[in-house]
Structure 1
Amino acid sequence: MSAPPQSRSIARRATPWAVVGLVLIAGFGAYLRFAHAGPFAIDEWWHGVAGVSDGSVARAIAVFMAEAGSGIGAAACTAIATALLLALRRPRDAASVATAMLIGIAASETIKALVLRPRPWEQLYHAAGSSYPSGHSMGAAALAVSLALIAAESRRLSRTATRWAWVIAAAWIVTMMWSRTALHVHWLSDTVAGALLGICAAVLARRLWERPPASMSAAPPRLDA
């Protein structure tokens, strides 16, 4: 017997937390804009700890993640995921993935333009624009969490497969966050905010496109029977 879908309840329960997350991201951005735009102690510590040397495997991985999470890379990944879901005749799932990315990009670019936080020094990879929040981390989280929510709803996947979907999603997000700080193009706090923004966008998009309960979608009973 297949397990009942889980992502609807996850998205529904997580929606208030997603709204709180957006408020926290905006509030922290306001603090950076008007009170303290520079790095915090933990940012400076991690900036000194993280880093990759030329020619190393770690640098190659970090650069690969940077390319995969760039505007073109994120758009390509989103388009592929959307196309596959449409091919599987899951238009609502495809719409939720695309919507999550659109929400995340719109919010990220708006906050960047308002906060104008300087990027770290000694950058090891070219990056333009302001630092807060990390757009790469946002995109990774928006896509990974969107797909994990879809996996959690699927009746064809076991609970073990669903757990692995969440593990892979978390690993992808953390690796992207690490790559942005290892290349010294974002502070640690930028990546945390970006990942949180992507998660919030995925939850809100999923809630927007999830199917209404069967009791609501069923036709009303006839009164003249």
Structure 2
Amino acid sequence: MIAVSGNRAPVWDSLALVMNSLGGGLTASVVVPGLLIGLLLFFKRPWAAGFALAVTVVSDAAVHLLKWLFGRARPVELDDLLVSVDFGSFPSGHVANAATLAIILALLFRFWWVWLAGALYTALMMLSRTYLGAHWLTDTVGAALLGIGIAVAVWAPLAVTLDRERRRSRASHPWRTFHDRYVVETWERNARSRRMLQVTAIACLSFGAVVFTLTLLSVLSGGGVTAIDLPVQEWLLEARSPVLTTVMVVLAVVFGPVALPLIVLVVCVGWGLLTRHAWRPLLLAGAMATGVVLAQVIGRTVGRERPPIDLMLYGTDLTFSFPSGHVLGASDFLLVTAYLLLSRRCSMRATTLGLSIAVVGTVLAALSRLYLGYHWTTDALASVSISLIVVGCVITVDTWRTGRVVEPAERG
């Protein structure tokens, strides 16, 4: 407790508070289990739904019973806690909920990444509860063991039935037919092309991570690449004119929080209807949603102030400046769309033209935010670097999920 509480910082506070919201209250006790049970019923797995319901109810009841029996005091006084808590420190209800959910998913969906994600989520929840001063470490360890033990104890006598139901559901559910026909989209590439895409993904991820890290450290320290902020701002102020301002306002509206989501919706729905495949539209929608979440989380964590209000030409904006949501949205949309379209084509001319349009569009979106006085240059630079990371992830997932290596001889 001393080690954790002695290293508090705003960024860790934000993360811990997010975990606090996810792991407790109606979200963890009702909403998440309810969604899981509904999903299992949709997949025609009533035994699995009953198993999830039983484990959730028993685990929740056990936590409250043990809290009442032990009545252990919280690590710190209630006035010093960063979050509101109920009676009893042992065991941690948040951690019990996390461990229970992790084991339910791991036992019902036999994928290694489900086990890994569940373990990481539970460990992060344990650390966050101690960090917030709501629990001793032993409270979290006991809660994790409690959730795991109850889930396994309920699962053991049902293991054969649940496994049989899982196999039957995978083979017969209408979702499988829909998935195979409309969601799965395989495309053929030779080994060299696939390797080039993998190298491109690694390059985007690496370059984006390095640039974002350098930019973030500069913003937090007030030095480094932030030295370009004022000169670029002064240059753009001198370049202002009525015509240019109109153009920049139009760009800000197109890539803004109202128009861009509508554009993305129309593109995704139209794309899916025209191609009768949902894979690439889903990738685009997922990339855009990821960008929105990252912008919100990073913005609230860093808390950077915007340029002076008197420089803003299109209304007052008092939200956080770093990173630019407009630039991140525009860059995600243009770059991801360009990849999803061009990756299925072999024409060098089309690839060059498409990438050029995406790059020019991203630059214009960035210039509009700087010109209109809403962001610093490093805000836009961070947004583009985040977008490169998102694009790298999209290429990785798309290549792994749908790309099939076919050599020239096999094509013939």
TM range (shorter): 0.7 to 0.9
Partner of 2:343: 153
Partner of 2:266: 80
Question: Which residue among 321, 346, 357 is the counterpart of 1:131?
Answer: 321
Partner of 1:219: none
* Structure of greater relative contact order (alpha carbons < 8 Å, 6+ residues apart): 1
Matched-pair identity in %: 22
Question: Which residue among 206, 212, 217 is the counterpart of 1:25?
Answer: 212
Counterpart CA distance in 2 for 1:8 and 1:145 is 19
Counterpart CA distance in 2 for 1:199 and 1:77 is 21
Q: 1:1-225 to 2 correspondence within 5 Å?
A: 9=195, 11-20=197-206, 21-22=208-209, 24-26=211-213, 28-33=215-220, 35-36=221-222, 40-51=226-237, 53=240, 56-87=242-273, 88-121=275-308, 122-126=311-315, 127-155=317-345, 158-210=347-399, 211-214=401-404
Deviation of 1:123 (Å): 1.8
Deviation of 1:30 (Å): 4.9
SS at match of 1:214: strand
Counterpart CA distance in 1 for 2:404 and 2:352 is 26
Deviation of 1:27 (Å): 5.8
Q: Residues 22, 78 of structure 1: CA spacing in aligned structure 2 closer, same or farther, 3 A cutoff?
A: farther
Larger Rg: 2
Q: Residues 11, 67 of structure 1: CA spacing in aligned structure 2 closer, same or farther, 3 A cutoff?
A: farther
TM-score, with length taken from structure 2? 0.46
Deviation of 1:209 (Å): 3.4
> Is residue 108–residue 135 contact of structure 1 (8 Å, CA) maintained in 2?
yes
Counterpart CA distance in 2 for 1:119 and 1:50 is 16
Deviation of 1:7 (Å): 8.3
Q: Residues 214, 17 of structure 1: CA spacing in aligned structure 2 closer, same or farther, 3 A cutoff?
A: closer
Q: Residues 184, 139 of structure 1: CA spacing in aligned structure 2 closer, same or farther, 3 A cutoff?
A: same
Deviation of 1:152 (Å): 1.7
AA aligned to 2:367 is W
Counterpart CA distance in 2 for 1:186 and 1:37 is 17
AA aligned to 2:257 is G
Unaligned runs of 5+ in 2: 1-187, 407-412
Deviation of 1:213 (Å): 4.0
Counterpart CA distance in 2 for 1:7 and 1:105 is 31
> Is residue 97–residue 202 contact of structure 1 (8 Å, CA) maintained in 2?
no
Counterpart CA distance in 2 for 1:123 and 1:23 is 31
> Is residue 66–residue 176 contact of structure 1 (8 Å, CA) maintained in 2?
yes
Give the paired residue count: 211
RMSD: 2.8
> Is residue 205–residue 388 contact of structure 2 (8 Å, CA) maintained in 1?
no
Deviation of 1:9 (Å): 4.8
Deviation of 1:95 (Å): 1.2
Deviation of 1:160 (Å): 1.2
Q: Residues 29, 170 of structure 1: CA spacing in aligned structure 2 closer, same or farther, 3 A cutoff?
A: same
SS at match of 1:177: helix
Q: Residues 9, 110 of structure 1: CA spacing in aligned structure 2 closer, same or farther, 3 A cutoff?
A: farther
Counterpart CA distance in 1 for 2:280 and 2:217 is 34
> Is residue 198–residue 396 contact of structure 2 (8 Å, CA) maintained in 1?
yes
Unaligned runs of 5+ in 1: 217-225
Counterpart CA distance in 2 for 1:186 and 1:129 is 11
Counterpart CA distance in 2 for 1:14 and 1:42 is 29
Q: Residues 120, 7 of structure 1: CA spacing in aligned structure 2 closer, same or farther, 3 A cutoff?
A: farther
TM-score, with length taken from structure 1? 0.81
AA aligned to 1:205 is V
Q: Residues 19, 153 of structure 1: CA spacing in aligned structure 2 closer, same or farther, 3 A cutoff?
A: closer
